[in-house]
Structure 1
């Protein structure tokens, strides 16, 4: 079935794009506030590392082979990392820029600092969802294409269990 492979390629490409956007916006934030202590920039450094890992793995698994489905444990781990980054960024925002899902001024390139920060949060959220969906697709594909279990001793009779005669 080619539909699952097409969906996998689309998911990996979207993961790559969203991780690149998060890496760019977070990198700009780190560049603008580079004189701050690394302890206060820790959540942004963590988000940048998760984005870099996501870019690496999405590029690696963008190749459309069936082996890219068996990496669903790494997809789950990266999804959990993205959820943690999302939580860290939301915790930092608090109420300083208004309601977290009020996206009136959200723009990753041009806009005020709150708009860029909310764009970073939005693409972090979307990336976490995409990695989770990719993991679920991998679990589905692996369970569907699992080889049949082979018994140690083959059956001797070919009849149904209720048609067998007693051998007593």
Structure 2
């Protein structure tokens, strides 16, 4: 059980890192363009850049296998909510351009277009939020599973609510 949960945790952390790095790169490109032209949603770009930077940092640190790697689930929930908020502000801004509806993904293949880059940032922010939430759920499950007392034969015991633990 523990090996499988650690493998899932490592997969989730690596996926969180990849999504955050992609969004960080795209937002850095937009911030560079803003520095030159002063056109674009600066506050949204800064917010998404900060969330992506924190996600890169935490996902790299938490990829290191430790004894307490599943105790970070409250921060996983916070970062998941922050990523969903970043996705929301990105979707809200794309509606102001002539890029189609919020769920139109036809122009994402043209990488040199503004709309394609913005939609890629949207997509990876949503996927990253889902990975952070999955990591939160795994952390909650493993943490509460490990809090059950161990019996002498190595299995987890389940006490009834009316019996004493003494």
What TM-score do you get using the length of structure 2 for normalisation?
Answer: 0.83
Deviation at 1:22, TM superposition (A): 0.1
Paired positions, count: 151
Separation in structure 1 between the aligned mates of residue 113 and residue 128 of structure 2, nearest angstrom? 23
Aligned 8 A contact 1:105 1:111 in 2: no
Deviation at 1:103, TM superposition (A): 1.7
Which of the residues 88, 99, 102 maps onto 1:100? 102
Separation in structure 2 between the aligned mates of residue 31 and residue 100 of structure 1, nearest angstrom? 24
* Structure 1 spans left out of the alignment, 5+ residues: 155-168
Separation in structure 1 between the aligned mates of residue 92 and residue 82 of structure 2, nearest angstrom? 15
Aligned 8 A contact 1:19 1:54 in 2: yes
SS at match of 1:138: helix
* Structure 2 spans left out of the alignment, 5+ residues: 150-158
Deviation at 1:95, TM superposition (A): 5.7
2:63 aligns with: 62
1:47 aligns with: 48
Separation in structure 2 between the aligned mates of residue 13 and residue 130 of structure 1, nearest angstrom? 10
Separation in structure 1 between the aligned mates of residue 96 and residue 39 of structure 2, nearest angstrom? 23
Deviation at 1:54, TM superposition (A): 0.1
Deviation at 1:101, TM superposition (A): 2.4
Separation in structure 2 between the aligned mates of residue 63 and residue 101 of structure 1, nearest angstrom? 36
Separation in structure 1 between the aligned mates of residue 8 and residue 135 of structure 2, nearest angstrom? 9
Deviation at 1:23, TM superposition (A): 0.2
Q: Describe the superposition over 1:17-40 as per-residue Cα deviations: whole angstroms up to 9, x where unpaired.
A: 1000000001101101115289x4
Which aligned pairs between 1:1-168 and structure 2 lie closer than 5 A? 1=1, 2-34=3-35, 35-36=37-38, 40-94=41-95, 96=97, 97-107=99-109, 110-148=111-149, 151=164, 154=166
SS at match of 1:101: coil
Bigger radius of gyration among the two: 1
Shift >6 Å, 4+ stretches: none
CA RMSD of aligned residues (A): 2.2
Separation in structure 1 between the aligned mates of residue 96 and residue 25 of structure 2, nearest angstrom? 24
